[in-house]
Structure 1
């Protein structure tokens, strides 16, 4: 195949989209299974007492490490995007990333201090190679069908959240109820499955993602008539300085807190050394960015300015949205009544069974649709993917049987208990895992993503700014719910028994907010950025996400300080106000950004 066109990929569609989209769907699904499964456990593992297998850290230290980890995960996409663009191609970048992440999860399963830190490092670099290049492949597949990109990214995002749902549900359950190493280890197993099925199905992408050759680079340059602006030596020095300062800061921030100040790279700058370093790095970056804008053609410059505007809004979105594995998980663990008895117990068990089995059945149906188009050509990949689903079905059914038996609603023989490795004990109650609430985000996305996809493809598709405004407004509404629910918790309280309904409402509104912003943002990057810059600009986009992730950690670090002084509700009301402010700002800026986008919707 000498050239990839939209028509070629749409010859044998699945649900109106190329079969290759669903190969990426399942690859990303298992990668997100591993990422979110491990991440859901990280804060709990770090703050749990040593008696229960944790490290017994303070919430401040745990949030500092969490913020730096997830920030570095997205920051590393800059490196992965560069290597894919210039050296190894999208496909090899995905495989290298998957292997590194598999090793990272295996390392964390060992639970020693060295292995945990090593695992986090491997996961950071693995995500950097993997993440930006999956979306880059989609962008290439739909380059001649831009009107279908929003729908494609939303469906892809459904796969992302299917993986997140099952990862949090199963890894979280095993980690909390069986042992931390089981949760960490399970994440690595499915990352390995995802890598195998991607590699064995790669021919479905035609020429997309192959290692760049001299010919392909020359052809891309010939097609791109936009003005070239190579970095000058001075600009490269500024970039290097910014990167070094930023990297040292994001590593030094948790290290200085965890070590009690014994490790402090910026100690020579005084008590506020960390702040001085990061403000200097951001200042240099902004100056360079503004100067670079002046060097492009007018239309390209304005489109890049629009991308930068949305990236700026995205920072605030993720800083607040990512309270889910941080302050909201703490709220679920310590301040929410999670023990259910009687009718509430059986109701939860039935609902939990339905939300486990039904999504798994839907995804299995999507799998069967993919097999109907690809099985003959990709038998081994189909076998690997089928095996992974058989294992998932087995673990899910085991979990449900264990919960029904423990709560006293199911009778199992001694032989069956031994076969299933279930302890012979009943409690006549159900304790909802703290990580369970995080699954609601993914569950709601699986349910709502098709509706939002249709909305974006209809004549009622709102403008980019309105989407962001709606998303930030919904984010504020969700935070207002938990703030209202926490209203009765006194300042300084370490525990409480708030109703679970407030967390359920938070995740419902935050899910709708996410559907308005996250997949749509990726789509706008692919539409507004010149082709030669696409993978790198996805990396730049993830840089904004990285700042937001670190911001989420910094918010989480202050939860105890604010709660002790003003009460926990005050903390969540602050996040509500920030979200509302950004929502209004996005809507007000609509006329300006619309001009900068030059007709792109």
Structure 2
């Protein structure tokens, strides 16, 4: 049977998924670039007038939830919906959330954020799953297909802050959020119109082992939906009636406790539950090391949308050739640098072969780059002083270092999780990877929330020291952990 090579030598369905994800990331990164700036902008400027402490905490909770909900989103697609319907429903829910952010009403705004979280949890993990399903088992084009798909992500992430950021900051904040919603609708239409190119990929959920288990899955889904609807209705009524005003700090702290319970419970089950072999337990120990390294790196990385974003607004000179560009435009740098350097890193690892650093050492190097970002920002904050402005090159260098660290950690972490995960829980271990990103995003929001009460220089210095200590520890244990990996191969 001839292979489908209609999209640059790849299946035609890849074009549908490429542009769907491009538009989804357009919406996500466009909204992300504006969120903190909008919440901290004065009411006279159309913003919400929040303190940086509250805004950063909400931002951290939001970004953490987006990745955390990938776990139930993947389960729901596997058991009930199938990946294709999960992507469609997720895209529509995300669009509704963005359009709620476009409504100039605080209560509607805060109802829109959970919708975006729920929709992204459905769409994000499942569209990636469909990418793998459009290839036959053993197809050598699969890795290249994921690379093309990844490029769509970064094209959307590069363009969106430029467009949504300009509209939001220069014209109207809510128009910027609405534009993100239009982008997501374009993604939904792209997916719907190109669904015939996907063949059977993502149509059917996993067949239950027995009809009784299938019934159990459906009951679990129905009870979960009913519980969410009732809880959301009660909370909305209490808030809108004034009985329970929104207490962002209490909400964020409660979510942090819940995230910690989920994480500790999961790792407790991983070690003390399950009939693991000695080799599998060694793999789980390595996964925990990588989880910690990943969480710390993303805690540093997500300063981009919070403390670095506010620094760009308040302390960075933004006039270029006479044009005063929006602070949100800096959010395009990371994705742009990934497009520039991703191929070079792939070539480097191929060239080095067996001489390349181990996965744990690459994680350590990523944390050294994260340390470098805070050193640069510490120097920039020192030069800016109280209310001064510095050259935009400080942030350009910061985002370059961030990108180099990301390229050392993100694709390496995904590959390591795939190799190390015991086959019977491979999907769950991929969820663990998303959970590490969720934990990192939450920590990013909590640490950035002291930006207003602690001088930027002191904050960046403290975070830099934490990253440096973590990097040294990972580098120190890299050899024994790598030996542990070799022992279980």
Coarse TM-score class (shorter-chain normalised): 0.7 to 0.9
- Alignment check: 8 A CA contact 2:256 2:442 kept: no
Matches within 5 A, 1:107-506: 107-140=100-133, 144-145=137-138, 152-212=145-205, 214=207, 264=250, 283-292=264-273, 295-340=275-320, 345=321, 429-460=322-353, 461-490=356-385, 493=386, 495-506=387-398
Aligned to 1:560, what secondary structure does the other structure show?
A: coil
Aligned-partner Cα distance in 2 for 1:88–1:131? 14
Aligned-pair CA distance for 1:119? 1.2
Indicate how the Cα distance of structure 1 residues 279 and 462 shifts in structure 2: closer, same or farther if over 3 A, else same: closer
Match of 1:552 in 2: 444
Distance 2:123 2:405 in 1: 25
Point out the more displaced range, 277-286 or 495-504. 277-286
* Aligned ranges 1:562-581 → 2 under 5 Å: 562-563=454-455, 568-581=456-469
Query: CA 1:124/1:34 → structure 2, altered by over 3 Å: closer, same or farther?
Result: same
**What runs of 5+ residues in structure 2 fail to find an aligned partner?**
211-219
Equivalents in 2 of 1:202, 1:51: separation in Å?
Answer: 46
Counterpart-to-counterpart distance in 2, 1:146 and 1:302? 31
Cα distance change, pair 123–195 in 1 and its aligned pair in 2 (3 A): same
Q: Alignment RMSD, CA only? A: 3.4
Distance 1:575 1:151 in 2: 36
Q: How does 1:62-73 map to 2 (within 5 A)?
A: 62-73=55-66
Structure 1 pair 121–85 and aligned structure 2 pair: CA distance change class (3 A): same
Q: 1:204 to 1:16 in 2, by over 3 A?
A: same
Give the secondary-structure state (helix, strand or coil) at the position aligned to 1:561.
Answer: coil
Q: Secondary structure at the match of 2:203?
A: coil
Cα shift at 1:286: 3.9
Contact kept, 8 Å, 1:473 with 1:580, in 2: the verdict is yes
- Closer/same/farther in 2, CA of residues 274 and 209 from structure 1, 3 Å limit: closer
Higher alpha-carbon deviation: 315-324 or 13-22: 13-22
| Cα pair 2:61 2:255 within 8 Å, conserved | no
The 1-side partners of 2:259 and 2:111 are apart by 25
SS at match of 1:562: coil
Which of 11, 17, 31 is matched with 1:24 structurally?
Answer: 17
Change (3 A) 1:554 1:21: same
Displacement of 1:584: 2.6
Change (3 A) 1:175 1:451: same
Higher mean Cα deviation, 43-52 or 148-157? 148-157
Task: Tell me how far apart the structure 2 counterparts of residues 477 and 600 of structure 1 sit (CA, whole Å).
Answer: 34
Q: Deviations over 1:331-378 (max 9, x none)?
A: 0111112234xxxx1xxxxxxxxxxxxxxxxxxxxxxxxxxxxxxxxx
Mapped to 1, the partners of 2:248 and 2:291 lie a distance apart of: 36
Distance 1:264 1:512 in 2: 36
CA offsets, 1:286-308, max 9 Å, x none?
Answer: 4333213x622334443343333
Residue 49 of structure 1: aligned partner: 42
Q: CA deviation at 1:503?
A: 0.5
Is 2:488 the counterpart of 1:508?
A: no
Residue pair 1:132, 1:538 contacting (<8 A) in 2 also? no
Contact 1:43-1:325 within 8 A present in 2 as well? yes
Deviation per residue, 1:153-176 (Å, 9 max, x gap): 444332211111111110011000
Contact kept? 1:67, 1:549, Cα under 8 Å: yes
Aligned partners of 1:337 and 1:499 also within 8 Å = yes
| d(CA) in 1 for partners of 2:9, 2:488 | 23
Aligned to 1:542: 434
TM-score normalised by the chain length of structure 2: 0.84
Aligned positions, number: 461
1:522 to 407, 414, 423: 414
Distance across 1 between alignment mates of 2:485 and 2:131 = 21
Separation in 2, partners of 1:260, 1:87: 34
How many angstroms apart in 2 are the aligned matches of 1:284 and 1:533?
A: 16
What is the DSSP-based 3-state SS (H/G/I as helix, E as strand, rest coil) of the residue aligned with 1:436? helix
The gaps in structure 1 that reach 5 residues or longer are 1-6, 219-235, 267-271, 346-428
Does the Cα contact within 8 Å between 1:299 and 1:598 map onto a contact in 2? no
* Deviation by residue 1:138-162 (Cα, 9 ceiling, x = unmatched): 4445785598766554443322111
The CA deviation at 1:539 is 2.5
Instruction: Provide the C-alpha distance between the structure 2 equivalents of 1:142 and 1:529, rounded to a whole number of angstroms.
Output: 22
